[in-house]
Amino acid sequence: MSEPGAQEPRVREPGAHELRARAEKLDAEDALAHKRAEFVLDDAVYLDGNSLGALPAGVPDRVADVVRRQWGELRIRSWDESGWWTAPERIGDRIAPLVGTGPGRIVVGDSTSVNILKALVAAVRMAGEGRDEIVVDATTFPTDGYIAASAARLTGRTLRPVAPSEIPGALGDRTAAVLLNHVDYRTGRLHDLPSLTAAVHGAGALAVWDLCHSAGALPVGLDEHGVDLAVGCTYKYLNGGPGSPAYLYVRADLQSRFDSPLPGWNSHAEPFGMRAGYEPAEGALRGRVGTPDILSMLALEAALDVWRDVSVEAVRAKSLALTDFFLECVEAYVPRGRVESLTPAAHPERGSQVALRCDDAGDVMRRLIERGVVGDFRAPDVLRFGFTPLYVGFADAERAARVLGELLTA
């Protein structure tokens, strides 16, 4: 697929008929196929759930109830009677099993960026004096890098960008905290959370993980692997809606030491005491800041209903099967040398997206969307296709690759 050279016939072995037949068989055998009916979808192949998940069908009525009854009729009584006040930790407990932790360790609220600042500054403070360096994933999403630089300025530390593969050798007595992405947003590469966390701990530092591109797509194992702090968004594989609130995880034994750089009245031990002095609440509640964004938060709570009968392990198995099949279809349909896969072939190194390098990627994605295949483009030359196993099927994967092949052969 990546070798240069003259274009070959558009369909190589296996042929289109065989691939379509296999897709039909795989969809018929798919244990998660019934979940597709729980989303609002159309005839398009939607492969952009790694940017914005599809709308779960149960969300509109639930949001309508929040607006019309809880807000419109109960009004301020809903803070107690409708459970608004406890929503951040209640919804956090629903996210917990999807990332491998238990109740009382996750609080929902604010944006990913704000939660990265909380987690990273708190990690540096817990690391103590004498550790004057923050290490950040050099390939990270830009905002993570911006926030890490700000955290370094706020705490008087030096920021050191390092490629994930080189992090174990870069750690030492100066390292206070390390900020890493579980999955590379450009390439879909899955970084080794267990071994990297162990390396960080071996250096006496704290590990902060960004789970935006892994939560809801694959097992994370926060407790199992001793992750110190983690953050993530909820609008990708968790399907919480545009701008839905993010979440913050603090390991249970670190919660009493968690010193947030953004103490607010919602994280006070007595929030309605209105005292001038700040006293942090116990547990994950320390991660709260201001008044929760109730409308989007309760939309997220409704969206999480689709997970009630689903295991993350089953999602991971289908994700790998989907991305394997899509790559096979791309190999068959796309002229050799026209695209290059940036996504690792090895399962342990792959998230739930496929990234293809293509010289005219921006124009190609525009034309794909016109043909009903929705992925996205990352400058300068990357086509990204996100596979959300709850609603993407094998026929979708085959159709997306076939349309791509037709566009690149024309």
Question: Strand 39-40 relative to strand 55-56: parallel, antiparallel, unpaired?
Answer: antiparallel
CA distances from 123 to 43, 117, 352 (A): 46, 10, 29
Residue 51 amino acid letter: S
Q: Is 230 helix (H, G, I), strand (E, B) or coil?
A: strand
Which residues contact residue 253 at a Cβ distance below 8 angstroms, ignoring those fewer than 6 apart? none
Q: Check if 377 is active-site.
A: no
CB 353 within 8 A of CB 214: no
Q: Which two tokens stand for residue 145?
A: 């890098």
Share of the chain residues as helix, strand and coil, in percent rounded to the nearest 5: 45, 15, 40
Q: Which two tokens stand for residue 263?
A: 């103490």
> Beta-carbon neighbour count of residue 165 at 10 Å?
12
Q: Which two tokens stand for residue 22?
A: 């296999």
Q: Check if 396 is active-site.
A: no
Q: Is 111 helix (H, G, I), strand (E, B) or coil?
A: coil
Q: Check if 385 is active-site.
A: no
Nearest to 234 by CA among 242, 222, 223: 242
Residue 74 CB burial class (10 angstroms; 0-12, 13-18, ≥19) = middle
Out of 94, 288, 384, 402, which one is annotated catalytic? 384
Residue 176 amino acid letter: A
Q: Check if 42 is active-site.
A: no
- Based on its alpha-carbon atoms, the radius of gyration of the chain, rounded to whole angstroms, reads 22
Cα-Cα-Cα-Cα dihedral sign, residues 203, 208, 214, 219: positive
Out of 118, 125, 236, 338, which one is annotated catalytic? 236
Out of 48, 210, 293, 396, which one is annotated catalytic? 210
The Cα 355–Cα 331 span in angstroms is 14
Out of 39, 46, 185, 235, which one is annotated catalytic? 235
Q: Check if 210 is active-site.
A: yes
The Cα 297–Cα 66 span in angstroms is 11
Out of 30, 46, 110, 141, which one is annotated catalytic? 141
CA distances from 170 to 146, 163, 177, 203, 230 (A): 21, 10, 12, 10, 21
CB 170 within 8 A of CB 179: no
Please report where in the chains the tokens 């929030």 appear, as a residue: 271
DSSP 170-202: H--TTEEEEEEESB-TTT-BBP-HHHHHHHHHH
User: Active-site positions?
Assistant: 141, 210, 235-236, 384
